[in-house]
């Protein structure tokens, strides 16, 4: 029988023979517990220790006869139990952080997740962390942690496109690959990654590109970092640029809007009037909006609200190429922040602006430096 260990807090080992599924980790900074409650399965003290932080998502869901769709059903302990091969090369800890679909995730959840993961990684016996997370907002959640984590130990986000009721669930294999990556000496200095279907993506570049296919996460022209197969990691690229901003709370409200042909700017004005502290606009082409939207942008700027310009186009960057009304050069001249030299895309630019505003306030020069990094 394998030995089961419960840690509360991490580092205090209390041996027992059996355990029930552990409760969810208290999330509040002001709650009764600031230390993650970790359940450990110790197979061999000589093996590295990897902690799986479970947040929910399709990987932890099963088909419901009542609703006809997938619903949360499995704990992190259940997910690990479905991958018995893990015991051959790692001791596994589990933190049941939450069990929600990632469409219900919010920046406040990621802030608490970032602090939880940092506390786990602060323990010298922990090699790294695997975060199981829904795929809908995994690109944003992983980027949030890449920005804010203090530790440089490996953190791998993974999940599933098929729920646990599927005849061919992809979750167990993805967990196996994620743990393999965490302990691999060939997968260092990548920051937070998203690793599914064997491919490794940098958090700052990854995007979900397909609604149902298991090969959904890609990094476009930036390319994959590596590939996991048969217990080994093949390294393709290094991650040379990473922004780091200390996590500061509370996080301000930042609106994300997409412009379009015939846009009259009403949504920009609405965001301003509703109290947004920052606005991100997914513009057309290389960074352009029409005249009415430009007038609304000027209204936001007049209220000292920073406006970041991204593009609806996946590849390329936002550039001050066009000088007519609402063109990139015009927007830059009037005080907008252009997401360049590499456009993060609207959702991640919103995360970056939110975290930066919380730390540095409405300092346009500093914000521009962060986006131009």
Contact in structure between 99 and 75 (CB atoms under 8 Å): yes
What whole-number distance in Å separates Cα of residue 73 and Cα of residue 63? 9
Q: Annotated catalytic, 211? A: no
182 Rama sector, left if φ>0, alpha if ψ -120 to 50, beta otherwise: alpha
Q: How far apart are CA 194 and CA 187, in angstroms?
A: 13
Task: List the catalytic residue out of 55, 58, 77, 132.
Answer: 58
Mode of pairing for the β-strands spanning 337-338 and 226-229 = unpaired
d(CA 196, CA 91): 21
Q: Where in the sequence numbering do the catalytic residues fall? A: 58
């Amino acid at each position: 029988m394998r030995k089961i260990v419960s840690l509360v807090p991490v580092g205090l080992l209390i041996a027992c023979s059996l355990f029930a599924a552990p409760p969810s980790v208290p999330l509040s900074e002001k709650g009764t517990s600031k230390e993650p409650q970790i359940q450990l399965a110790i197979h061999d003290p000589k093996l590295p220790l990897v902690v799986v932080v479970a947040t929910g998502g399709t990987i932890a869901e099963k088909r419901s006869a009542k609703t006809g769709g997938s619903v949360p059903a499995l704990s992190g302990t259940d997910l690990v139990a479905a991958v018995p091969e893990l015991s051959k090369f790692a001791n596994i800890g589990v933190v049941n952080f939450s069990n929600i679909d990632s469409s219900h995730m919010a920046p406040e959840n990621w802030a608490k997740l970032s602090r939880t993961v940092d506390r786990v990684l602060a323990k010298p016996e922990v090699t790294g962390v695997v975060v199981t997370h829904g795929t809908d907002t995994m690109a944003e959640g992983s980027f949030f942690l890449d920005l804010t984590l203090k530790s440089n130990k490996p953190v791998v986000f993974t999940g599933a496109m098929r729920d646990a009721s599927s005849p061919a669930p992809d979750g167990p294999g993805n967990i196996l690959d994620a743990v393999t990556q965490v302990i691999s000496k060939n997968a260092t200095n990548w920051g937070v990654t998203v690793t599914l279907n064997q491919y490794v993506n940098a958090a700052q570049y990854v995007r979900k590109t397909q609604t149902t296919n298991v090969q959904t996460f890609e990094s476009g022209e930036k390319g994959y970092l590596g590939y996991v197969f048969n217990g080994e990691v093949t390294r393709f690229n290094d991650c040379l640029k990473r922004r780091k901003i200390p996590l500061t709370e509370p996080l301000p409200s930042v609106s994300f809007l997409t412009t379009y042909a015939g846009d009259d700017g009403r949504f920009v004005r609405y965001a301003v009037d509703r109290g947004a502290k920052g606005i991100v606009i997914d513009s057309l082409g290389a960074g352009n909006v029409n005249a009415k939207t430009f007038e609304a942008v000027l209204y936001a700027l007049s209220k000292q609200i920073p406006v970041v310009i991204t593009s609806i186009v996946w590849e390329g960057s936002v550039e001050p190429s066009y000088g007519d009304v609402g063109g990139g050069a015009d927007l830059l001249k009037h005080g907008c922040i252009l997401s360049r030299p590499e456009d993060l895309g609207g959702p991640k630019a919103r995360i970056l602006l939110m975290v930066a505003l919380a730390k540095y306030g409405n300092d346009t020069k500093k914000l521009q430096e962060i986006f131009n990094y």
